[in-house]
Chain A
Amino acid sequence: MKTKLLQGIAAVALAASAGTAQAEDVIGFELNGETPIVVETDAPAHLDGALSTIRSGWTFRDPATQAMEMDDFDNPGMLAVEDAMVAWETAEGSEGKSCMDCHGAAEDMAGVKPVYPKYVESAGEVRTLQMQMNDCRENRMGAEPWKYDATEAVSMEALLSSVSRGMPVNVAIDGPGAETWEMGKELYYTRTGQLDLSCANCHEDNYDNLIRADHLSQGQVNGFPTYRLKNTKLNGIHSRFKGCVRDTRAETFSAGSPEFVALEMYVASRGNGLSVEGPSVRN
């Protein structure tokens, strides 16, 4: 009941500042009692015919789990953000540079997370935030790259995400990255595994229905990296994809593979308009 009430308050507060939001009946909550987070809004145009409303995974969770995310002190994912903050300021590699030496304060990176994955001109490919971080580590710092979805990498992604919380996800689907986006879309609708399921079968056709004892979400990734109560650590998007694909009883792609990069780009674009929430708290 408490959360319902809070949601109500948040909705009123958001309506008062409707200048920034496009939909009139914005539904959300206030993070730490100050940052508005949109958890339900109109679907982006490219989802025409598939979904009319997009909902953050937060809306599918029970009030206790929701409350954990609403306050940074209660959010265990913020411990990883603190670790990453130390890493941000620590010089590493042969160049003796830290992230901070080039980028300044971590807070100055606000606005970076919402647009990733994106086409990086200099690299000539679509990159996720973790790929871009490793590019920095290898070429600017002279440090070892992090393994994809390794603890350090996911924590750093959580730090970059945390400073962008409240900003709308805004992944470009046209331009030079369009080809990768199309590939991601195809993967999304391709059935895999012995169970012969595509992403869409669960997350588009059956969201809000029960899968065993749990509510199926829309599979939005605006809340990643996600602290899962199930394994009590931060989880990267690709690791989550692996879990899903495995559950269809298929051989999975590996984290950081071109297939998952494309899929991440497509799935992220399905959440265009939702707020960045990472590090979020989920089951």
Chain B
Amino acid sequence: MATGVKPRVKAPKSASAGEVVTIKTLISHPMESGQRKDSDGNTIPRSIINRFTCELNGNMVVDVTLEPAISTNPYLEFEAKVDEAGEFKFTWYDDDGSVYEDAKPIEIA
């Protein structure tokens, strides 16, 4: 069970129709790879964010599979084309079954 997990998103509040906007996301997470051992020699179980998705009004923008080699606090930056006002929905899926969500509305200026 990962503790101290907190998602963060930076997205513009408005865009002109058809504009391609840059979205930055970061989730604080230890991303324990499952390859490390503790001081007693026992394997520390894998605990990572294994999937990240971003949707705009129900349409998938990105769907990312994350692997154990990705470092602590994974940071993802991507672009999305905004045709109409709506809401970005961000979802992170944890190995332990937890799902972390965030949402950002966007207007057409």
Contact = CB atoms under 8 A, between A and B. Distances in A.
A73 B73 contact: no
B104 interface: no
Contact of B28 (A73, A74, A79, A232): A79
Contacts of B36: none
For chain B, the bracket of interface size reads under 10
Nearest to B9: A73
A79 B73 contact: yes
Contacts of B6: 82
A148 B26 CA distance: 30
Nearest to A86: B4
Contacts of A76: 73
Contacts of B81: none
Interface string A57-98: 000000000000000011010010010000000000000000
B63 to A, nearest CB: 22
Nearest to B24: A73
Interface in B24-38: 24, 26, 28
Interface in A228-258: 232
Interface string B14-54: 00000000001010100000000000000000000000000
Interface in B41-94: 72-73
Q: Which of A73, A74, A82, A232 has the most CB atoms of chain B within a 10 A radius of its CB?
A: A73
Nearest to B72: A232
Nearest to B4: A83
Interface of A: 73-74, 76, 79, 82, 232
Interface of B: 6, 8, 10, 24, 26, 28, 72-73
10 contacts: A73-B8, A73-B10, A73-B24, A73-B26, A74-B24, A76-B73, A79-B28, A79-B73, A82-B6, A232-B72
